[in-house]
Structure formats: structure tokens, C-alpha cells
Amino acid sequence: MSGRDKNSPSTFDVHAEALADVFTLADKSDQYKAVQKYGGPEGLAGLLRTSLEDGLSKKETSAPEARIRAFGNNHLPDPPSKSFFELLWEGAQDVTIIILSIAAVVSLSLGLAFPPEGEAGTAWIEGAAILVAVLLVLNVGAVNNYAKEKQFKELDKQKQTKPVEVVRGGEPMEISSDDLLVGDICLLKQGERVPADGIFIDGCGTPECRLDMSAMTGESVAVLVNVKNPAMTSGAIMESGLARMLVLAVGEDSQYGVLFKNLQDEADPTPLEEKLDTLAEWIGYGGMGAAIVIFLVLLFFFLLEHYTGTQTISRCLDIPVENEITTVCWNHEEDNEWSTDAFGDITQFFIIAITIVVVAVPEGLPLAVTISLAYSMKQMMNDQCLVRRLAACETMGGSTTICSDKTGTLTENRMSVTKGWMFGREFSSLPLSTTPNKQLADILFTNIALNSTANVSPPKEIGGLPEFTGPKTECALLMFGPHVLPGGNYQALRKEYKNKIVKMYPFTSDRKRMSCAAKVDDDASHPYRLYTKGASELILERSAYMVDKDGEIKDIKSKDRERLNALLEDLADQGLRTIGLAYRDFSDKSEFANKDDDDDDEPDPPEYELTLQAIVGIMDPVRKEVPHAVAQCQAAGIVVRMVTGDNLKTAVKIAKDCGIFTDGIALNGPDFRKMSDADIDRILPRLQVLARSIPTDKKKLVKRLKENREVVAVTGDGTNDAPALKAAHVGLAMGRSGTDVAKQASDIVILDDNFASIVMAVLWGRSVYDNIKKFLQFQLTVNCSAVAIAFISALSDRGTPLTATQLLWVNLIMDTMAALALATEKPTPDLLDRKPYGLDEKVPISAIMWRSILGQAAYQIAVLMVFIFLGADWLDLEDKGRVHYTMVFNTFVWMQIFNEFNARKVNGEWNVFHNIHTNWMFGAVMVITVVCQVLLIEFGGEAFKTTRLDLVEWAICVGLGFVALPLNLLLHFIPISIFTSLFGMCFGHKTEYIGIPDVETGHGSDSEDGEGDALNSAWASPDPSRRKKKKVKGKARASSDSD
């Protein structure tokens, strides 16, 4: 349904404008007073027909039309975009198009006003045809740009849409942000973006949260939000804490929506576009120079012809010289006749020269990049990759290393508790063989329920799996809860403790634990209890006591600690994530002091001298497609590293199952942090697993890899991962588990959190690069031959065998049509059979491409020159006549048509027809081109200076064009080294794998600078093989540039 209807009467007792005005007030006290004017959150909930506890009822959400008419939906307005006619006008600003149009108008005017003798009815046609061709080129370009903008607009809408957790009908659920309604109760966690304007209800048991408002206000200081300062503005980021928010303004009425109306991002050129812009300039300058020379040569022959007595019209005069009469004759034409014909001829020369520039300037290059990127972005959505930054498409194809998270990316993120230790007893299966003590079970179940932001909903279908929302580790514990306390209801327990919670300490990647302080008993000497859960070794380290199998609390002795540590190692060896749960009682809540407004540091929670309750092992199976995907990356020359917060042994086990950990090094984060940059660089070639890492470890790893000339892609899902995502060449955020901050910092969002989708991003990135190379090879071949033919013909006084309208048709074939045909080729698995292209590759033209470009261009030039100079005699045609030059034009076009098939393969492949059936666009373009060419020859007439050909003449033209296919096979036998040495240095082309330099890694205590201490605590495979990769500077990579 559409948005708010301002003219429709509202059935609510409060108006959208009044609610939106709350957020325009600058003073906190004024915002509070504005909310209180409506009776606070409770009063507003009544006016909006919602409940602060249960949210909107099913009746309200099943028929939301009246609510949307009154308050609108959460769709943001589209930013202003250019219309078709604006894009058409923009294309008409091109200097060469303007000059060509002016020259065409002059030609048209002369043809109408002063037609040459015998051409009174047709002299105007060529000028008109040029104008029509220019309009056609402009319209095709505008249509492509319009389609591109429309496609990008659709992708932008998908970028804006994200899942939001709400309470509706008393049930927590995930909905799309587009479906958010005024009156919804929204649940927000640390790192999430506020999806609409609303007011703070509570902090899910805590009295406050903090918002990062920098995106809206530019202020970097976090804003404290509580009942006294309740406004939560859309676009802000939850910096800390939890929040339940009552939504008051959505879409265009929200503060972010108001700002968004006037926003329009101007896309920066991608790195590949910048490289191609430079190449286009070189080609353009070459074409400009050739055009100037051609114009001057044609003008020279024209003037020579008029002033050397070759004209048929002459004048004679008898002059008496020394009593004799001498007759002197000279060429002469009447002033008007001579001037108009001469001016008309010179105008035609000028048009030819400008057309050569139009043909030479590869304006199709940016179009090909745009089409390829836009097509790839749309297709990548189907492969679960949402591209947020255009350059990431191409950069991903050049990635040499991927630093991947474990949970959800390499594993299924469908966790379940399978083994562990609880109240002094180990268990190896569920259900438990013994029933725990009721009092102890109550404490543990309360720990599980309160120390969680997750929810588990019943299956939507009979026999289906439960629906999980929130962190999957917490979901696994919630599913484990009924085994601890049969009949326990975590939702009822949360409601019971809602007003008893004193302080929440949310989980962070740095702390690797979370805690909840609550009042448990008014009469007890220690009425406050801190429930803590987190990384098992950290919880065990901070525990001084444990509950034994008799239900007694006792000190943890050294042998108990050894036994529990051995259990942790055993669970980790099985690839299980281990979580510890503990608690501590307090007599005074002052231990849980809140942060002052002026204090940037949160007081440390009293998570020490804990009583250990349980250690559980959580299974998270490896995704079945991941080992193959990792193997594909490794075959493609991409090093895959696992960076995880898990225990080292757990990480190694999962890494082995994935195929990541082979003969390398696995290192703990704390040890990694102690190492110098030089030490890290020494072990980088063999570092495959970084465990117990924090986000700063990931950023440091990315930085060192970049310093070593790697193209780095890194995954992240947490708020603290943002710096590493920003630092990498390509940041990959997780779509399901990732926070909004991580997604905003990323370049690509992996919608299904699956590593196999990352491999697809690599595949599409390489496809984009290859498609541009295909187009480039085709266009440069046409450029070389067209300019050379025009140049040689002009120098040899053969005139211009290719007219302006014919050249414009060729320009249309090789620019727009070829861009559509070649830039939409789909990726094939063999793209992963070669190494990545490096950072130093300046222009994507390989030696193989040069071989094809020069070989095909040489063939075209040689054949057409023979045809131009000798073809008329051989075929008994009028020299430079209409049939003669029609055949030249037809042969030239058919050479391009068949060579376009050759351009489908740019890496030395023999079969240019492989997978041709997968690209319907290529087939459609070929059919259209052939049909149009036949029509131009048979019916082009004066407009295209063509005439009909008989079957023999058609066979000759098509046959000479067809030779391009077998010629492509013959070119494979020319050694590629010739072209490598000729063009490698000219264009700075490097296709070799820019990898990690070969090193010898030190081991043991005798290594220098403390490296031995770090490596002694690392996990390294015995007797590792040394796989050396050498950097070959200035040479093309053999595997890429050989047949």
C-alpha cells in the first residue's frame, strides 16, 4: 500500500505531524515534556492502539491500511534521479557529438541549397542520415543509462531494507524494516541502527542505553537515552545497551526520511573505470591525431586537384607576345559553383575526420563497465551477495586472501548443546540421565533466560524446526533450558524479572562474556545476584567456587581446575564451542554502578570470585558446501584464513574440517597481539587460523596483509568489526548475524552468511574483469583497422571508402551493441582455475589479447587494402564505384561480426563457442546486427552510400569475414612471449600472482625478538612443507598468458 494520505480523515486521536514534531525539538527537556503531554509512553500507546508489552495486535497488523493512511509506511523516498530526456541532453554535451552534428547540419544545408550537378534530389540525404545516426547513438546511450539508473535504484532499495525485531501479539518476531508501523514495539541491541523515530520504553531490564548520533548530528559523543531523554532518532546506532522502543514516526516523516529526501549519492568511478578512462584518453588522442592527418591529406589532394589543370572546365586567352599570338589556358569555374562545391567537399572531409574521432574514442568502455557491473550486481543478489559499493565487484575478483569468521560463515549457525559438565557431573547426550537439584536448576535456568537477547518461536509448520531470532549461541542455550529445568518458561521468567534487573552488561567481542545483575530475594543477606556467561576458559579463570554433584558449593582446587581444563580441551578437540555459566551473590547493588554522563568508560562489572554452574559444548556443524568452496579458493590462488573468537583447539578442528588448516600455523589472539610487525610478516605465509581474536586483531592482520601486497577480503558481523571491514580492500558483512554498523562499514553484504556465497562474489568479480577485457579486445581491433583503412586510403588518394554514416553504424556495433553482448557474459567455474590479477596491473590488456588484436587487425587491414586497390579489377567492378565500396563496407562489418565471437575468449581458450547458449543477450545482439546490416546494404541507398549486392558478392563479403574464426585458431601458434616483451613494459601489465614473499618461519625458543614465545603457544602442523611462491616482476604469469 502507498504511504500516508494527508487528505484522508484519521481514525486515531493523534496526528502524524504532531508525533514527528517531538523529534524536531532540540532540548532534551522539551522532548520529555512533549512525550508527557500525551501521558508518557503509556498514553501514547493508548492513542496508537498498541500495548507496551504485547505490541500491535494481530488484528492491527493483518489490516494495517488505516494505520498506514494515518501515519505512513517505512519506505524512504527515492532520491531525485535524472529523467530520460535529461540523460539524452547530457549525452548531447559530448564535444565530438556537437562538432559532428554541426558539420552534418552544414552538409545538409549545402545539399539542399547548392546540390552538385546531377544530385539535386539526393545531395541532402547524407547530412540527414548523419543526424539520424547521431540521434540513434544518443538515444541508445540514454536508454542504457536510464536502465542502469533504474537498476541501481532497485538495488539501493534492497540495501535500505533490513530485518527488524519487534513484538506483535505478544510474540517476538523478525520483520522487514519496510513493514515497520507506527505503534510497533521495536527491540534494539548493541550495534543496530534505529529503523524509525521512537521513544525509549525501557532497556529490557536496564534503565538506559547509549546512541551514536554522529550520522545525524555530526557529534561523535554518544547520547544517553532513558525515560527522561526518551527520543530515539532513526539513523542513529545503538552504541551500548538494549532498548524497547515505541515507534512514533516512519518513512518520510522520520528524521532520517526528511534528510534522505534531499540526498543523492554521486557514484565515484571504480578503479577499473579509472584505468579504462586513462586508456580511452590514449586511444582518443591517437584517433584525434589520425583524424587531423586524414583531414589535411584529403584537403591537400583536393587543392592539388583544383590547381594543377585537371579540371574539365577551363578558360583560354590569346595574348600578343613579340608580334605573335600566344594562347594561355587555365582552369576556372564560376565563383558560385566553385565555392559551393568546394565548400561542400571540404565539409565532407571534415565530417569524415570527426567521424574517425567518434569511432576512435571508445565511449563504449565506460558503458561496458557500467553494464557489466550493473548486470553483475543484479545477478549477485541471486547468489546472496548485496553489493553496497560498486568497486567491490571488480576488487573481489582480484582478492588474494580471505579472512573469514567461523560461526555462521563456515558453519551452519544452527547450534545445539550436545555435551558438557553441570553441577559436578559430565553429560554426553540429551536428555540428561539425572534430574538436577530444583534450586540449582532454577539459578542456572535464570542465568540462561536473563543473559540472552534471543528468542525461540514454535515451528511454523508441523514437523518443522523452531524459529530462532537473535544470537544462535543463546538460542542453543534456550533450547537446552528445558533439560535443566523441565517445564521452565524463559519468557515468563523474563517478565517476572523485568522490574528486578539492576544492570545489564552486554556481550562484546573484547570481553567475550555478558552479565545480568538482578534482585532475587528481599529478605536474604545477599539479595542481589550477578549472572554471568561467556567463553568457558574466561569464566573458569574468574571462578573461585563450583557446585559439585551433591549440590554443595565448594572451592575450586587445582585438581578440579585441571580436570575442567582437560574437559575444555576434549570438547574443543571435538570442534565444540564451549560456554561457561556462573553466578555471584551481593549484599549491595552499589557494585553495579551506572556510567556517569560525563564518563566515557563503563565501570568494570564485578565478574570475579564466581561460582561455576556449568560448562556446555555447543555443536555448530560445518556447512556441507564449505570444504568444496574453500578448495575452489585455494585452487584460484586465494589463501583462506579463519579468524574467530573461539578456543584455539575448536578453531583448528573446524578449520581442518573446512580444509583451511593444512600445514600452517594456528595462533591465539593474545600471542598475536604481543608480536611485532616484523614477526607477524615472517609467519604470515603460513598463518591459517587466528583464534580467541578480538576485532583489533583482525584489523592488525588486515593491515599487515595489505603491507605485503595482498588484496584482502575480510568478513565481519559485529560492531567492533567495522574498522577491519573498512581497512580491507573488500569488507564482507554478514546479512543475518551482522549488526547495522558492520553492514554500513562493508562493501558487500553476504545475505545468507555463507562462505560459498563469498566464492560466488569472487567468481562474479573475475567475470566483470574478463568481460571488460573481452569488450576491450573487440573494440581495439575495430579501432586499429578502421583508423588504418581511412588513413591509408586518404594517403593514397583513394578517397574515403567508409563514409560517415557507415562509420557511425560501425561505431554503434562496436560500442553499444558489443557492450551489451560481451559485458553480460555469465561467469564460468574455470575462472577460478587461475591466479588473481595483482594490485599493479595498470591496463587490463594481456599479451594474449595483443596477439589477437594485432593479428585480426592486420588481417582486416591487409584484405581491405587489397580489396580497395585491386578488388575492382579482379571482380570486374567500377573502381571506387558504389558496388566496389559497398563490398568494402560489407566485408569490414562481417569481419567485426565474426571477430565478436573471438572476443568471447580472452585467455587463450580454443573454443570460442563454449557456453554461448547461456548468454541470450549475445545471440540477440548478433541477430539484430546481421539483420540491420542486410537492410543497410539492400536498402541503405543514398543515406549509407550502398547498393544491392548479388549472391556471389554477398558470399565473398561473408566469406572474408568468416576467415576471422580460423585465423583466431592459427594465431594460437604464435609464441606469446613476443607480445609479452613488446607490450609488457609499455602498459605496465602484470598478470602474475602478487602473493606473499617466500620466507622461512622461525620456530622454538631460539627465534629472535620474542617470536619463539608466541609460536610456542601456537598450533603448528608437524613437518610442514615449504610451498614457495615467487614474485616475478615485469613478466606475465605463465598460467594466465599461455595456451
DSSP string, 723-789: HHHHHSSEEEEETTT--HHHHHH-SEEETT--HHHHHHHHHHHHHHHHHHHHHHHHHHHHHHHHHHH
Is the pLDDT reported for residue 248 higher than 90? yes
Is the pLDDT reported for residue 130 higher than 50? yes
DSSP 144: H
Between β-strands 401-404 and 712-716, what pairing exists: parallel, antiparallel or unpaired?
parallel
DSSP 719: G
Query: Are 229 and 27 within 8 A, CB to CB?
Result: no
Between β-strands 610-619 and 543-547, what pairing exists: parallel, antiparallel or unpaired?
parallel
Is the pLDDT reported for residue 450 higher than 70? yes
Is the pLDDT reported for residue 213 higher than 50? yes
* Grid coordinates of 223: 547520547
Is the pLDDT reported for residue 283 higher than 80? no
Confidence of residue 116 (pLDDT cuts 50, 70, 90): low
Is the pLDDT reported for residue 572 higher than 80? yes
222-259 burial, b at 16+ Cβ within 10 Å, e below that, comes to bbbbbbebbbbbbbbbbbbbbbbbbbbbbbbbbbbbbe
Between β-strands 577-586 and 610-619, what pairing exists: parallel, antiparallel or unpaired?
antiparallel
Q: How far apart are CA 823 and CA 376, in angstroms?
A: 9
Most confident of 359-368, 512-521, 984-993: 512-521
Is the pLDDT reported for residue 727 higher than 90? no
If one compares 450 and 117, the residue with the highest pLDDT of the two is 450
What is the pLDDT averaged over residues 483-499?
A: 88
The per-residue pLDDT for range 863-919, each reduced to its tens digit, is 988 888 888 888 888 877 888 889 988 999 899 899 999 988 888 888 888 888 888
| Secondary structure (3-state) at 418 | strand
Q: How far apart are CA 1013 and CA 1006, in angstroms?
A: 9
Instruction: Show the CA angle centred on residue 841, arms to residues 836 and 847, nearest 5°.
Output: 85
What type of residue is 138? L
What is the pLDDT averaged over residues 367-388?
A: 75
If one compares 541 and 393, the residue with the highest pLDDT of the two is 541
DSSP 816: I
Q: Which residues are registered as beta bridge partners of 944?
A: none
Is the pLDDT reported for residue 137 higher than 70? no
Q: How far apart are CA 974 and CA 481, in angstroms?
A: 72
If one compares 574 and 980, the residue with the highest pLDDT of the two is 574
Q: Which of 391, 301, 344 is nearest to 769 (CA)?
A: 391
Query: Are 114 and 80 within 8 A, CB to CB?
Result: no
Q: How far apart are CA 116 and CA 461, in angstroms?
A: 84
Cβ contacts of residue 69 below 8 Å, gap of 6+? 4, 5, 8, 10
What type of residue is 45? A
Give the relative orientation of helices 271-306 and 335-360 as an angle to the nearest 10 degrees: 160
Q: How far apart are CA 22 and CA 36, in angstroms?
A: 11
Q: How far apart are CA 790 and CA 803, in angstroms?
A: 10
Is the pLDDT reported for residue 615 higher than 90? yes
| Secondary structure (3-state) at 121 | coil
| List of E strands, 593-698 | 610-619, 639-643, 665-668, 687-691
The per-residue pLDDT for range 1010-1037, each reduced to its tens digit, is 333 333 344 444 433 333 333 333 333 3
pLDDT reported for residue 1010: 36
Lowest-pLDDT choice from 85-94, 222-231, 324-333, 475-484: 324-333
pLDDT reported for residue 422: 93
Q: How far apart are CA 466 and CA 458, in angstroms?
A: 5
Confidence of residue 1041 (pLDDT cuts 50, 70, 90): very low
Lowest-pLDDT choice from 288-297, 487-496, 565-574, 766-775: 288-297
* Grid coordinates of 851: 596477439
Which residue matches cell numbers 551477495?
A: 385
If one compares 186 and 203, the residue with the highest pLDDT of the two is 186
Type and span of the H or E element at 170 = none
Cβ contacts of residue 671 below 8 Å, gap of 6+? 1013, 1014, 1017, 1018
If one compares 974 and 102, the residue with the highest pLDDT of the two is 974
Neighbours of 521 (CB within 10 A): 11
Is the pLDDT reported for residue 181 higher than 90? yes
What is the pLDDT averaged over residues 119-138?
A: 64
Q: What percent of the chain has pLDDT over 70?
A: 73
Cis amide prior to 723 (ω within 30 degrees)? no
Q: In the predicted model, what is the mean pLDDT of the chain?
A: 77
Give the relative orientation of helices 804-812 and 882-902 as an angle to the nearest 10 degrees: 10
Is the pLDDT reported for residue 742 higher than 80? no
Q: What percent of the chain has pLDDT over 90?
A: 19
What is the pLDDT averaged over residues 55-83?
A: 82
Q: How far apart are CA 505 and CA 482, in angstroms?
A: 25
Q: Which of 479, 481, 482 is nearest to 416 (CA)?
A: 479
Query: Are 859 and 964 within 8 A, CB to CB?
Result: yes
If one compares 784 and 68, the residue with the highest pLDDT of the two is 68
Q: How far apart are CA 1022 and CA 1007, in angstroms?
A: 18
The per-residue pLDDT for range 400-414, each reduced to its tens digit, is 899 988 877 888 877
Which long-range contacts (C-beta less than 8 Å, at least 24 apart) are formed by 125-130?
125/941, 125/942, 125/943, 126/348, 126/803, 126/804, 126/805, 126/942, 126/943, 126/945, 128/104, 128/943, 129/805, 129/942, 129/943, 129/944, 130/100, 130/103, 130/104, 130/351, 130/804, 130/805, 130/808
Verdict on whether the full-model pTM lies above 0.75: no
Instruction: Show the CA angle centred on residue 346, arms to residues 345 and 348, nearest 5°.
Output: 65
Q: Can you give the three-state secondary structure of 335-368, one letter per residue?
A: HHHHHHHHHHHHHHHHHHHHHHHHHHCCCHHHHH
Type and span of the H or E element at 969 = helix 964-971
Neighbours of 140 (CB within 10 A): 18
| Secondary structure (3-state) at 238 | strand
pLDDT reported for residue 284: 66
Which residue matches cell numbers 560445518?
A: 622
Q: What phi and psi, each to the nearest 5 degrees, are found at residue 176?
A: -75, 145
* Grid coordinates of 392: 567491490
Q: Which residues are registered as beta bridge partners of 331?
A: 314
- Residues belonging to the active site: 405
pLDDT reported for residue 999: 30
Lowest-pLDDT choice from 117-126, 337-346, 792-801, 1034-1043: 1034-1043
pLDDT reported for residue 236: 85
Lowest-pLDDT choice from 57-71, 104-118, 946-960: 104-118
| List of E strands, 549-624 | 553-555, 577-586, 610-619
What is the pLDDT averaged over residues 741-770?
A: 83
